[in-house]
Structure formats: C-alpha cells, structure tokens
Structure 1
Amino acid sequence: MNEQLNDLFRSRVGYPAENTLTFEDLPRILELAGRTIPFENFSIMERNTRSITQQNLLDKILVQGEGGLCYELNSLLYLFLLENGFNAVMTRGVVFNNETQKFMPIGRTHATILLSYEERTYLVDTGFGGNLPLTPVPLTGETVQTSNGEFRIRKANSEHGDYQLEIKLKHKDPDWKIGYVFNSRILISDVTELDELQQLIAEHELSVFNKDPLIMKLTEAGSMTLTDHSFTTWANGTMTKEEIGGSRYKELLKQHFGRTLAEIKQVEE
C-alpha cells in the first residue's frame, strides 16, 4: 500500500487513519471529500498544470492543500480506492447542458469512476462540482437519495456512451436532469491518459474552465461558490448571491477556502 497517499487522503478529508474502509463507508468518504477538497480551476487559470500522475496529485491536493477539477479529484479518489482494496476503474463522459439541451461540444472532458462490488457496478464521483452524488450510484436504474438530492443511472442511447447520470438536486431541481453520459466499455488504464483531457480543458476555446477563476465546495447546509465577481451560497434551500470586487474576493477566498492570492497568483489586484 502507498501509505503516504492513504494517510494523507484520510487526513485531508478527516477520516480516521485506523479505520478499515468498507463499501458501507463510501458515502461518508464522498461527503467528507465534497466538503473539504474544493472543485477549482486555479491551476488552469494560472497556466501551471502538471502531468496527471499519482505523485503530482498527492503533492497538489494532499500536501499543498489545493483542490482541482474532475480529472484530478476523481483520479485521486480512484487511487485511494485502489489502495484500500476496491475494484475500481475510470472512464470519461460528456457533460449535458440542460439550458441548451445539448451535450457540451468540447467532448469527453469529464472523468469519473466505476466501482464493482458484489457483482454490481456503481458510479462514484467527487469531481462534478455542486452535482455530487454523495453515495455510490448503481448502474441498475434505481434511485439513491443523499443529503443533497436524488441520483440515478439509466441506459443511454447516445453516441457518447451507454449510460447517463441523472440528477434531481434538493431544493433546486423540480424534475430530473441529465448530468453526463459515459461509456462503461471504454476505460482509462492509467491516470496519465487524462493529460489529454486536461489539455482540452486548459486550451480549448469552448472550455468553460479557462475563462474565469472558480472555487466551490459543499457545506452541511448546501454549497458555496466563489468567482472573482460573485459569491453564491445555498443554505437549506435558500440561495444568496453577492456581487463582489477584488478586496472582497480576497477576503472570502481566505475566509471560506483558506487560500490567498499570493498562493495562487491568478487574479489581478
């Protein structure tokens, strides 16, 4: 076992080092990860991306205390799951834009995890922003419910894949919406393959993550999302949005995410 990765991951999310991790513990791990490791694009904005390797992920997220995007957060979780004896693989998906009712034209830029347990396959995802299913979601179509909403996976008839994650967020979604479609038959054999995905997100003109800084995480009551021009919180079904400027941005970044501009160096004064 890579004891450094295992111990540092548990320390970062606040899960006891001495506990043997079982399938029944995974909802707690996903909940803790969603609240402690932010979804953020600072390395993209600062143009300081590094190759997706186990050591680079460990250093960035567990040693330096940063967050990341799907290909980083889910790669790290995938490696942690392997270290704890789980049968997991990774795959890629295409995100669905529910406003335009079209798939994102940039292609298969979402990385996620498939986990096999007792002859069933589950989706596990800690890298989908505020749409996280805080429990493994079976590929059987049944609905699972967590503190932030309902989730299910249904068969998809799509050129992009054979299954789709569907979401109905608590207090937000009156109806089911598609999160993304993924292909359960085209798997990633090594996390370094995600370098190509990272490059797409960093450089493609249609990428939504190379335009403005973004950082968000879940909270006990909902979520909080910070950009350089707004701060949005969801708390028990109530949304509050504050338009902000540079000084307020720095204050909120430090207060809620423990980061400073000096550390990330990607927002002008």
Structure 2
Amino acid sequence: MQNLTTLFHKRIGMPYNEKITFEKLPEILEKTAQTIPFENLTIIESKKCEITKENLIKKIVDRNEGGLCYELNPLFYFYLIENGFNAVLTDGVVYNHTEKEYGQIGRTHVTVLLNHKGQTYLIDTGFGGNLPLKPVPLSGETISSDNGEFRIKKENQEFGDYCLEMKLKHKDTEWKIGYAFDSRKSIEVANLNEIQTIIAEHPKSTFKKHPLITRLTENGNITLTDTTFTEWADGILTKEAIENKKFKELAKQHFGL
C-alpha cells in the first residue's frame, strides 16, 4: 500500500515526492483547505464508523470525502508524524458567539499542536471556514493569511490555558474567540471515538441537525446546507435558497460528494 503522504498529496494536488518542511506547511494547509471539505454527512446519514488511521485514509483520501475536526485534524496529524514532525493531538471547547459562551457539549474540538525548534504552534485543518492556513505560534504573535488574521492568547480558565482568536478577512472588524484549548494535555485516537459519539448523539450538538458542507476557495469560501448555498468571493456575499434535489447537485458539483 502507498504511504499516507503519497495518497494525501494526490488528494490535495501536491507533487508526490515533494519534501515536506516546516516552511512548506502554509502551502500544504492552503491546498488542504481548498480541496477537502469540512462536512457532517456521515453524522446526518448515521453512517459513522470507528475512527482509526486506516478508516480516515479510506474516507478522506480514497473516497474523496471530507469530515469534521475529529477526522480532518487527526489525518493531518498522521501526515505530519509520517514526515518526521513532532506533533500531538489535543482537544478544545468552541466558543458560541450566538450564546456568548463556550459550547455546552464539552471538549469536542480536536486540533494539532506542533513543536518546531523549541516553539509550539497550533495547526488546524478542521475548523470550517475559520482556518488559519498557517501554523499559529503560542507566543501570541499574529499571523496573516488569505483567510484573515489569527493569534493565540494565553489564558488560565476552566477550558484550557490558551485560546485561538481570529479576525476573518472581509467578515470581522474585531478579534473574536474561536476556541479554548489546553496545551498541557494530549489525546489518543481512542478519545476521537468518544468525541464522535458526543457530536452524533448529544441533544445540543448542531452537527446532528442539518447537513453542512464548506471549504475555502482561492478568493473566499463556499458553504452548502439543506436550505442555502452561500458564496464569499473577494468580500462579496451571495446566498441562494435551495431545495433538497439542488442540495445533492451542488454537493457533487462544488465538493465532489
């Protein structure tokens, strides 16, 4: 069987034999965000299966599907490890801006922490349209990408010791909280199945209620639900109401699903 790196590069359109360095990660993260959709269809269709490295490769790389954070970030973690990086998985709690509080279903956001030359960075490929597209240092330095500005803020609170803050391009004028996480702990693959169960079964889980598919594009992002198709392009928003038949057509046309 081909290794994950070869298969992953084929999926995102990178040369198979490309040597992966830390400096190359922004390009890889951008290609990943524009190719692999953030989507919850297996939850909606009750087709979830055990989270393992092999199953993630089958779903996201072989079948060209997408996934949620507990699938997308672990796959990228395995890719990083295969390429000699020092990385761990950790979990966090997403901030709910509507309710103005951290989410009530617990530590269900999975993300990656990478150590490079004595500095720790957050890497996220599974946060919907809120992706930094570059490693974000825990030092507090602001990084800028095509998707906006991102920084890590040091905190001491019940949900962790740091939080990701963001100012999305064309959307935010002020910094807003993404999620809190704990840099002092790491999680194992077994924990991913517990997170999947919460997201699939918890009454307050938003991902079990309506289908959602989104990915970044070269000049913005596109988002599809069962009732709307939304596109941001160069800061201009267009939104179209759709019906069920149109959902399936658009899912195939724009996301390959």
State whether TM-score is above 0.5: yes
Q: Is the 8 A contact 1:36 1:217 kept in 2?
A: yes
What is aligned with 1:174? Answer: 173
1:61 maps onto 2:60 in alignment: yes
RMSD: 1.0
SS in 2 for 1:154: strand
Matched, 1:232 2:230: yes
**Aligned partners of 1:35 and 1:219 also within 8 Å:** yes
Instruction: Show structure 1 runs of 5+ residues with no match.
Output: 260-269
Q: How many angstroms apart in 2 are the aligned matches of 1:213 and 1:99?
A: 19
Q: Which stretches of structure 1, 4 residues or longer, exceed 6 Å deviation after superposition? A: none
Alpha-carbon distance between aligned partners in 2 of 1:152 and 1:210, rounded to the nearest angstrom = 30
Partner of 1:218: 216
Partner of 2:185: 186
- Does the Cα contact within 8 Å between 1:37 and 1:66 map onto a contact in 2? yes
Q: In the aligned structure 2, how far is the partner of 1:30 from the partner of 1:4? A: 19
Q: Distance in 2 between matches of 1:47 and 1:250?
A: 17
Aligned to 1:140: 139
Matched with 1:266 is none
Between the two proteins, the alignment pairs up a number of residues equal to 257
Q: Is contact 1:115–1:122 with CA below 8 Å preserved after alignment? A: yes
Alignment partner for residue 256 of structure 1, among 232, 245, 254?
254
Alpha-carbon contact 1:51-1:192 (below 8 Å) kept = no
Whole-Å Cα distance in 1 between the matches of residues 235 and 5 of structure 2? Answer: 35
Using the size of structure 1 for normalisation, the TM-score is: 0.94
* Percent identical residues: 58
TM-score normalised to structure 2 length: 0.98
What is the rounded CA distance, in whole Å, between the counterparts of 1:44 and 1:37 in structure 2? Answer: 17
Deviations 1:188-244 (A, max 9, x none): 1x3232100000000000001000111110000100000111001101111111111
**3-state SS of paired residue (1:184):** coil
Match of 1:242 among 240, 243, 248: 240
Alignment of 1:1-269 (within 5 A): 3-188=2-187, 190-259=188-257
Rounded Cα–Cα distance in structure 2 between residues aligned with 1:97 and 1:20: 39
